[in-house]
Amino acid sequence: MAFPRPSKASAHRTDPTHRTLAVAVLLALLAPAAAGCTDQGEESGPVTILANWFPQAELGGYYHAAEQPGSAGGEKAAERPLKVLPGGPGIQTIPQVAAGKAVFGVATGADDLLVARRQGLPIVAVFAPFRANLTCLTAHAGTNLKSFRDLDGRRVAKVQSRPWWEYLRRHYGLDRVQEINYTGSLAAFKKDRSLVQQCYVTSEPYYLKRDGVQVTTLSVSDQGGYAAYSNVLFTTEQTIERDPELVRSVVARVARGWDAFRTDPAIGKRAILAANKEADPGVVDFAAQVMRTGRWVSAPPGSMTPAQWLRIRDQVAEAGLIPRSTDVEGAFTTRFLPSR
């Protein structure tokens, strides 16, 4: 799953995403000077995309794009290779890209970008491979989980400080949920039939079916109505102003990469398995099959609409993380998406 490792969660919090992001921004802004980082916008070397998690299928189109030569009209920008930098528990892509440690980044959700811009980070979404949040909550079959309201009074293993959870908690009146740490493992869930666990529609269902565990799953997007785009490619306002042709080239290559990965994941799969020795080949194939259904992916690849961004804004505002008056106009742009 494409989430950072959580610390202990509390059932009652005040703007936790703001506090977490503020600390991350300070650390990221200090890091380049301490590490002697060079400006990632220089016209030499690879163009970097900082991923939000370890190499996995949910990032497949980015890895596929990095394996292919650039061919966007022959511009100099297209000749530069793409390089996907793997994420992990300690990676905060938004502040690190804002601090210049990579040219592009992958945000877990469009909701995170809105919260970050509220904190003053000048980042802009340029491509959204998934039209909706990929998160789901899964419970053992027969435990009477039929809607999100049924979560009240239960134990839920989830990542701390996620906008989608703050929205669900308020929207469905979940005042008696016992929130516990999500560890990224299914071991505790398999042993405890009373536990509800966060998952990805493209990942955990594969492992649970493989291991013969019967479950009921609620989609944060489909059943929960949460609209945020997932695994969104973003860059900074400065990069867009300074080198729009670079942005156009990278977005075009990423669009081709995602298109190709959904059709035949072989190239992206090889790159993922080479970069992540712990990855299960079977789950990559499963995720690609889920994507091929068209249920979760954006069409055409990367597309975004003002109406959906406004809906995301309203839901993040309902979660108490930004004002409802927040302007979404600068949070995304479709000007670099390939014409169809």
If pLDDT is split at 50, 70 and 90, which confidence band does 11 have?
Answer: very low
Q: What angle do CA 31, 32, 36 make, to 5 degrees?
A: 120
* pTM listed for this prediction: 0.86
* Mean pLDDT over each residue of the chain, to the nearest integer: 87
Residue 165, pLDDT > 80, answer yes
What is the 3-state secondary structure of the chain? CCCCCCCCCCCCCCCHHHHHHHHHHHHHHHHHHHHCCCCCCCCCCCEEEECCCCCCHHHHHHHHHHHCCCCCCCCHHHHCCEEEECCCCCCCHHHHHHCCCCCEEEEEEHHHHHHHHHCCCCEEEEEEEECCCCEEEEEECCCCCCCHHHHCCCEEEECCCCHHHHHHHHHCCCCCCEEEECCCCCHHHHHCCCEEEEEECCCHHHHHHHCCCCEEEEECCCCCCCCCCEEEEEEEHHHHHHCHHHHHHHHHHHHHHHHHHHHCCHHHHHHHHHHCCCCCHHHHHHHHHHHHCCCCEEEEEECCCHHHHHHHHHHHHHCCCCCCCCCCHHHECCCCCCCC
134 in Cβ contact with 106 (< 8 Å): no
The per-residue pLDDT for 68 is: 87
Question: What is the mean predicted confidence (pLDDT) over 135-146?
Answer: 96
What mean pLDDT do residues 68-96 have?
A: 77
Model confidence pLDDT, tens digit, residues 116-133: 999 999 999 999 999 999
Query: What is the tens place of the pLDDT at every residue in 292-331?
Result: 988 899 999 999 999 999 999 999 999 999 999 999 999 9
| Same topology between domain 16-132+228-331 and domain 135-219 | yes
Homologous superfamily (CATH) for 16-132+228-331 = Periplasmic binding protein-like II (3.40.190.10)
Where do the domains of the chain lie?
16-132+228-331, 135-219
Going by pLDDT thresholds of 50, 70 and 90, the confidence category of residue 9 is very low
Q: What is the mean pLDDT of residues 237-266?
A: 96
- What is the end-to-end Cα distance of the chain in Å, rounded? 31
CATH number of 135-219: 3.40.190.10
pLDDT in tens, 231-246: 999 999 999 999 999 9
Lowest mean pLDDT among 23-27, 38-42, 163-167, 267-271: 23-27
Q: Is the pLDDT of residue 37 over 90?
A: no
The answer to whether 296 touches 201, Cβ cutoff 8 Å, is: yes
What average pLDDT does the segment 174-188 reach?
A: 92
- Is residue 22 predicted with pLDDT exceeding 70? no
Q: What is the mean pLDDT of residues 77-105?
A: 90
Q: What is the mean pLDDT of residues 53-78?
A: 79
- Of the pLDDT bands very low, low, confident and very high (cuts 50, 70, 90), residue 70 is low
pLDDT tens for residues 98-112?
Answer: 999 999 999 999 999
pLDDT-derived band at 191, boundaries 50, 70, 90: very high
Cα-Cα-Cα-Cα dihedral sign, residues 102, 104, 106, 111: positive
